[in-house]
Structure 1
Amino acid sequence: MIAIIDYGMGNLRSVYKGFEKVGVKAAVVSDPSQVDQADGVVLPGVGAFADAMANLRAAGMVEVILQAIKEGKPFLGICLGQQLLFDASEEWGYTQGLGIFPGQVRRLPEGLKVPHMGWNQIEIARPDPLLDGIPDRSSFYFVHSYAVEPVDAEITLTLTEYGVHFASIVGKNKVYGIQFHPEKSSALGLKILENFGRVVKTC
């Protein structure tokens, strides 16, 4: 079973329904013990980085997330959930993140319309099971004003251009972060959720 973490910051129902559509068993959970028992973990997120980190701490989720990743459980962060995987964000000051991946979360460059909202393409930088069946230059649905800057370029699986090229999917050791919303990205977005379910099943 995949645990979708409810910490008051995510569009949980659409993520759950996305997994349901592709036949992947998932449940929305708010109890840390349920995350501990899950085979895979999903961290969705919409809103401010600092609020998200505060909510995760208040819910007792930070420790179980770190433990799940340490144990090698497949993990998927979506939108804000991707950003939380990094060291820190400059949104509204400086806020420490989960520190799974070295790097910062920075505002998209001045002069660009923000949020970056709507359909945009991904450029595949390196193959990964998460991208099985996803053609290069496929389009997905984005809504964000900040983007991750990984220290290690090797974790960047796809890039997207919006004034600059930013890492739209990152991943290493079955820990993934996706800046766009796969659950809102039609058939190819659902394919990514299905692929993550397959990664969980093979562990």
Structure 2
Amino acid sequence: MAQKTVTVLDYGSGNVRSAVRALEAAGAQVKLSAKPEDIANCDGLFVPGVGAFAAVMQALKDVGAIRWIGRRIAGGRPVLGVCVGHQVFFDEGVEHGIHTPGLGEWPGTVELLQAPVVPHMGWNTLTPPAGSKLFAGIEDERFYFVHSYAVQKWDFEVAQPKMTPPQVTWSEHGTPFIAAVENGPLCALQFHPEKSGEAGARLLRNWLETL
């Protein structure tokens, strides 16, 4: 089987080197780039993200990545978002009373976690849906989170009877929140697979096998 090519989107988000190393260890040929041709032509696009929702959305706009991410999804080309790179695929983010539109691929608002302690930092369990490809063989493992905001409600309406709804994985910190979504070519994770040890490595290998 040919080695899969993955572009880690380089738009100024921190901590991308650990993602590059983790993907390489999982068996991918990895390029760190924001060039349109690298976004368009890879087998899989990895969208990282740390910090504030609004800042990440602005940075994506500044490098022209939103257009190319949309083209990939429309063309059925795989995309994997992580942390704030997961959050931006929802309708909007709300931080300190400021509403920032997201990419709108899924309904939902990224809001401050309703928990006694934030940020949610450390290892936590998940509840993946039956038939999940990302979590195959690692359904009972723990994964590493670092975040204060999350989508805590899911209200997805199937537009067409034959449409397959997204698979949603939940976790809990004070309140249930969405930890992952699998939706055809578009997948996203609130946690960091590159910081999640062997479980995270297995998840990345699972994703590469779908490309």
TM-score for the superposition, normalised by structure 1: 0.93
Worse-superposed segment, 79-88 or 167-176? 167-176
Instruction: Tell me by how many angstroms 1:155 deviates.
Output: 2.8
2:95 match: secondary structure: coil
Q: Deviations over 1:108-147 (max 9, x none)?
A: 01x52111001111112332211121133x1111000001
The corresponding residue for 2:109 is 104
User: What is the rounded CA distance, in whole Å, between the counterparts of 2:45 and 2:205 in structure 1?
Assistant: 14
TM-score for the superposition, normalised by structure 2: 0.89
- Over 4 Å off, 4+ runs: none
> Match for 2:145 among 137, 142, 145?
142
> Match for 1:24 among 20, 25, 28?
28
2:40 match: secondary structure: helix
The corresponding residue for 1:46 is 50
User: What is the rounded CA distance, in whole Å, between the counterparts of 2:139 and 2:65 in structure 1?
Assistant: 35
Query: How has the CA–CA distance of structure 1 residues 69 and 75 changed in structure 2, closer, same or farther, with 3 Å as cutoff?
Result: same
> Match for 1:94 among 78, 86, 99?
99
Worse-superposed segment, 178-187 or 88-97? 88-97
> Match for 1:162 among 164, 173, 176?
173
Determine what percentage of the aligned residue pairs are the same residue: 39
2:188 match: secondary structure: strand
> Match for 1:65 among 63, 69, 78?
69
Worse-superposed segment, 145-154 or 179-188? 145-154
2:111 match: secondary structure: strand
| Counterpart contact for 2:11–2:60, Cα < 8 Å | yes
Q: Deviations over 1:75-129 (max 9, x none)?
A: 10000110011110012310001111121111101x5211100111111233221
| Counterpart contact for 1:36–1:68, Cα < 8 Å | yes
User: What is the rounded CA distance, in whole Å, between the counterparts of 2:168 and 2:155 in structure 1?
Assistant: 14
Name the structure where helix makes up a greater proportion of residues: 1
Instruction: Tell me by how many angstroms 1:156 deviates.
Output: 4.4
